[in-house]
A and B are shown apart, each in its own frame.
Chain A
Amino acid sequence: MRRLLVLVALAPMLLADTCGDQNACNQPPPGVGAIVTDVQAAADPCAGQPVEHVVAWFTRQGTQYPLRCGRRDPRGYGYLHIRYDEGGHGDPVNDAAFRTEVANTLEHGMERLASGGTWRYTVKYNEAKAICNNAQYFRVVVARSPNLPDGHPAGIITALFYANQPDQYP
């Protein structure tokens, strides 16, 4: 019983240590409220901006893809969809950890055609990273073509964690 209590008490430290050793966590474990509070309070870069406004850039194999403001549901896509819809997937502008997941998945994820000029990229986390992110998979969907007159495509349509294997995988 005493051993169990010690384990429970040390769990957050053990978890953080495991993630740190394997460089699996890009963020503190859940419960470090200051970070979350900062993210929730962060400014919305799309306030007053048109749907095509670019708030960030992500790269795959040397090609840059924009993250545009987009809009919220029911036709949600882009930054506003990722940040706010369905309870919020994450904030790819103000949350460096989430932004890193988007960048890593786009660069290294398994590529599959979604339709037309749109592709999806999916990574499966190793055990340590799955614990850190409380998820097993991360996916980014990107409209890579055609371009707008600004010379770039619609770009990042969505990005999200999956607790379990997505229905369509990879």
Chain B
Amino acid sequence: MAQTARPSGGRAGELIDALQGWQFPESPIVLDEISLQTPRDEWPPRIRLDYRIRGQRGRWEEEWGDELADGSVEYAANLMMAIVYIHLMDLPAPLPEHLQAAS
């Protein structure tokens, strides 16, 4: 039976720290800012990702959940950015809703 894990306090803050400076090398995707929109000790975290694709700005804000709750913070950071990567890797420009959110 699926269960929602509830990490101990501080994981959201540690995760956002681990995400700072993350980039996708050899890619037109540029990550400008990754910021936590919920308290550092609150789970699940709401994370805002400000990025550019070929100079066009996008903002993807999302509440992340149980997929990042288990394993090390490094595991969660890598998984989150792997998910972000596959959703942006084939886009010629940010998604319309991301463009709108960034404007």
A binding-site residues for B, Cβ under 8 Å: 48-52, 70-71, 73-77, 112-118, 120, 141, 143, 145-149, 153-154, 157-158, 166-168
Q: B residues within 8 A CB of A52? A: 70
CB-CB under 8 A from A157, the residues of chain B are 82-83, 85-86
Do B90 and A143 have beta carbons less than 8 Å apart? no
A113 contacts B26, C-beta separation under 8 Å: yes
CA of A76 to CA of B62 in the docked complex: distance in angstroms? 12
Contact partners of A51 in chain B: CB under 8 A: 2, 66-67
- Judge if B101 is at the interface, Cβ distance under 8 Å: no
- Known A-B contacts A118-B81, A154-B79; the reply to A167 vs B62 at CB < 8 A is no
A49, A77, A116, A120 — most chain B CB neighbours (10 Å): A116
Q: Which residues of chain B have a CB within 8 Å of any CB of chain A?
A: 1-3, 22-28, 62, 64-67, 70-72, 74-75, 77-79, 81-83, 85-87, 89-90, 92
CA–CA, A66 to B30, complex, Å?
29
| With contact pairs A146-B71, A147-B75 given, residues A50 and B3 touching in the complex (Cβ less than 8 Å) | yes
Across-interface contacts of A147 in B (CB, < 8 A): 71, 75
Task: Tell me which residues across on chain B come within 8 A of A143, comparing CB atoms.
Answer: 78-79, 82
Chain B residues whose CB sits within 8 angstroms of the CB of A75 once the complex forms: 62, 64-65, 67, 83
User: Which residues in A have their C-beta under 8 angstroms from that of B75?
Assistant: 146-148, 153-154
Kindly state the separation between the CA atoms of A51 and B1 in the bound complex, as whole angstroms: 11
Write 11 A-B pairs (CB below 8 A) sorted by A numbering.
Answer: A48-B1, A71-B67, A73-B87, A74-B62, A76-B87, A114-B82, A118-B78, A141-B86, A146-B78, A154-B79, A168-B89
Minimum CB distance partner of B73 in chain A: A146
CA distance in complex: A65, B4 (Å): 24
Contact in complex: B78, A154 (CB < 8 Å)? yes
User: Given A75-B67, A148-B75: A167 and B92 within 8 A (CB)?
Assistant: yes
With a cutoff of 8 Å between Cβ atoms, the chain A residues found around residue B23 in the complex are: 115
